[in-house]
Amino acid sequence: MHFFEYLTHPKLLGHAGLMIPLTIQAALLHPYYQQNVTSSVVRRSLIPIAVIMAFVTAPMRKWLPLEDSMMVNFCFVSLVTFHATCLAFEYGLHEGPVLGPKCELEEVELSGEENHTSISPEDLIKSQSIGTTEARKRTNNHASTDGETKSTTMTGDSSESNVKNSPTKKKEQLVKPSTGELVRFVLWLLFSPRGLECQWAPHPSIVTFRKPISTSTFILRETLGRVFVLHAYGTVCWALATCAFHHPQGFYGIIKDVTGLSESSVIKFFAGYGTSFCIGACMWTGLEIAAAGMNLFEFLLYSIGRRFLPVSWAPEKPFNPRRYPPLFSKPWESKSMSEFWGRGWHALFRRDLTFCGALPAFKLAAMLGFGKQVQKLSGLMGAMFLSGLMHEYAIASISWEKTGPQIIFFFMECAIVMAVENLIEKHTKIRFKGIWGTIWTFGFLMYFGKPGLDLCGAGVKFFSLLDLHTLVGDAFGGTSEALQYQAGPVEGQYQR
């Protein structure tokens, strides 16, 4: 009876309903099934089913109460729902081979020009194919030098399997995959970080690959150690923002109380962004902690799977840290808005935003007869609008509070700034770099982002931003109770 109740648990049913259509689509992308026209029809017909199931099962997958689980639901429910919706279209409409070059073992070195990220969706599309070609060349060169080919996918990317099921081979050479091989292929495709090792893998300039390190170093230092640092940093930001959040004059009042400064309109202006900055830091560290948790999950899947699963089901290659680059490519080092979004923050969902946002808008402008510049601008607006919609949905779907359009406005304003950057660099000798580029980028981000971040601190229960940090606190010594609602509500401030 207890086992049956577990099988019928709403969360389990919700995740099953979300994954089943996507799993079928992913399985039909195997080279053996791709040669059949029927598989393409089935994949396309599953698009509406997968989209409907993604949104219908979202309430079943949420952690309750909503006001205490914002970041958990934001990372593992809302963003997953958005990503699954995009995957339904990507898997359903994809034509051609899926398997791409393996993750390289050497670090990708980029020049200053390559580090610059163009805002053009046309360039984004080109960069995917160019990146695949360049990566394949480097992979082949590396193989010829070392005399061996190293790969790290969960799909059983053995040379024999790849030869038998290579999409470049003739149809009669394709061999029907075993159940275990198909399971490995589906798991690899569904869990492949950012589409690495797929034909649609991002350009190497987008992903900050780590230097070759051992698995133990990756787990102990880059994952667990980083989680500890992020937990400490996020908790400090949360504590500062909590004090400001409950002070009648916010950060400005705290600065006056601590320093005894007299009234200053300049300090008051800049201090007004203190709470917004700390809330943003809490959200960033929460996303990083969630990503670290997923990396640990896949590490355990590799380790346990290779030990206990049948040979045909278990991963054939050991865990490779190269397939798990940092979640964001150091967005704090961005020198322009285009670099921040293109190579920094949006690196995680780049494929989704390009395929489902930039491409449709780009093609629509082309169909209407607009020139290339308008087409590029349309693609940019489409990608940023979809990103704003993603964040707006993510916040609205995990809170009982009403939300406004501030977040979508923020992303569209950023798109306008990115277009202006492109025009300035194209028609003048001005380049966004150095300290002035940093001031330009984060000045606009803080100014445009303040209404949306303040919404996260008021429209959504502020303390729920700490939920992932309290979980980490328990793991590192049981600090969650000490971190809970320390500051009492102040009259005139938001309170439950």
- Same-domain check for residues 46 and 184: yes
- Same-domain check for residues 358 and 460: yes
User: Which range has highest mean pLDDT (166-175, 246-255, 477-486)?
Assistant: 246-255
- Same-domain check for residues 314 and 192: no
Which of 416, 408, 390 has the alpha carbon at shortest distance from 455? 408
Cis check for the bond before 65: say yes or no (omega within 30 of 0).
Answer: yes
Give the containing element (helix H, strand E) for 110: none
Question: Taking the CB of residue 102, how many other CB atoms lie within 10 A of it?
Answer: 24
Amino acid at 126: K
Tokens of 373: 């510049």
- Same-domain check for residues 354 and 320: no
Domain that holds residue 234: 210-324
Is residue 76 within 8 A of residue 290, CB to CB? The reply is: yes
Give the model confidence (pLDDT) of 335-352 as tens digits.
899 888 877 676 778 899
pLDDT band of residue 109 (cuts 50, 70, 90) is very low
pLDDT band of residue 150 (cuts 50, 70, 90) is very low
pLDDT at 155 over 70: no
* Span of 62-71, 280-289, 436-445 with lowest mean pLDDT: 62-71
Residue 108 half-sphere exposure toward CB, CA atoms < 13 A: 24
Tokens of 175: 């061999």
- Same-domain check for residues 214 and 190: no
The string of DSSP codes covering 269-292 is HHHTTHHHHHHHHHHHHHHHHHHH
- Same-domain check for residues 458 and 397: yes
The string of DSSP codes covering 47-97 is HHHHHHHHHHSHHHH--SSGGG-HHHHIIIIIHHHHHHHHHHHHHHH--S-
Give the model confidence (pLDDT) of 425-454 as tens digits.
888 888 888 899 999 999 999 888 888 776
Residue 393 falls within a domain, yes or no? yes
Question: Taking the CB of residue 229, how many other CB atoms lie within 10 A of it?
Answer: 11
**Dihedral, CA of residue 163, residue 208, residue 407 and residue 69, to nearest 10:** 80
Q: Which of left, alpha, beta for 325 (phi over 0: left; psi -120 to 50: alpha)?
A: beta
162 or 323: which carries more pLDDT confidence? Answer: 323
| Percent of the residues in the chain that have a pLDDT greater than 90, as a whole number | 29
- Same-domain check for residues 193 and 217: no
Q: For residues 464 and 64, give the distance between their C-alpha atoms in angstroms, rounded to a whole number.
A: 11
Helix, coil or strand: residue 291:
helix
Residue 481 falls within a domain, yes or no? no
* Span of 151-155, 413-417, 468-472 with lowest mean pLDDT: 151-155
Task: Give residue 159's pLDDT.
Answer: 39
- Same-domain check for residues 364 and 316: no
- Same-domain check for residues 75 and 190: yes
Tokens of 446: 């803080």
H-only helix segments in 94-120? 112-115
CA dihedral sign of residues 229, 234, 239, 241: positive
Task: Give residue 11's pLDDT.
Answer: 84
Out of 143, 167, 201, pick the residue that ends a domain. 201
Is residue 276 within 8 A of residue 446, CB to CB? The reply is: yes
Q: For residues 84 and 48, give the distance between their C-alpha atoms in angstroms, rounded to a whole number.
A: 12
Q: How many domains does the chain have?
A: 3
Residue 136 falls within a domain, yes or no? no
Residue 149 falls within a domain, yes or no? no
48 or 293: which carries more pLDDT confidence? Answer: 48
Residue 304 falls within a domain, yes or no? yes
Is residue 78 within 8 A of residue 460, CB to CB? The reply is: no
Give the model confidence (pLDDT) of 111-127 as tens digits.
333 344 444 444 544 44
Task: Give residue 73's pLDDT.
Answer: 83
Task: Give residue 494's pLDDT.
Answer: 37
Tokens of 229: 């640092």
Residue 230 falls within a domain, yes or no? yes
Residue 147 falls within a domain, yes or no? no
Residues in a beta bridge with 198: 99
pLDDT band of residue 475 (cuts 50, 70, 90) is low
Q: Average of pLDDT values for 144-169?
A: 42
- Same-domain check for residues 255 and 344: no
Q: Which of left, alpha, beta for 197 (phi over 0: left; psi -120 to 50: alpha)?
A: left
- Same-domain check for residues 195 and 255: no
pLDDT band of residue 407 (cuts 50, 70, 90) is confident
* Span of 220-229, 262-271, 385-394 with lowest mean pLDDT: 262-271
- Same-domain check for residues 455 and 356: yes
Q: For residues 15 and 375, give the distance between their C-alpha atoms in angstroms, rounded to a whole number.
A: 38
* Buried/exposed 182-221: b ≥16 CB within 10 Å, e otherwise: bbbbbbbbbebbbbbbbbbbbbbbbbbbeeeeeeeebbee
381 or 129: which carries more pLDDT confidence? Answer: 381
490 or 29: which carries more pLDDT confidence? Answer: 29
466 or 65: which carries more pLDDT confidence? Answer: 65
Tokens of 106: 């050497």
**Average pLDDT over the chain, rounded to an integer:** 77
Residue 116 falls within a domain, yes or no? no
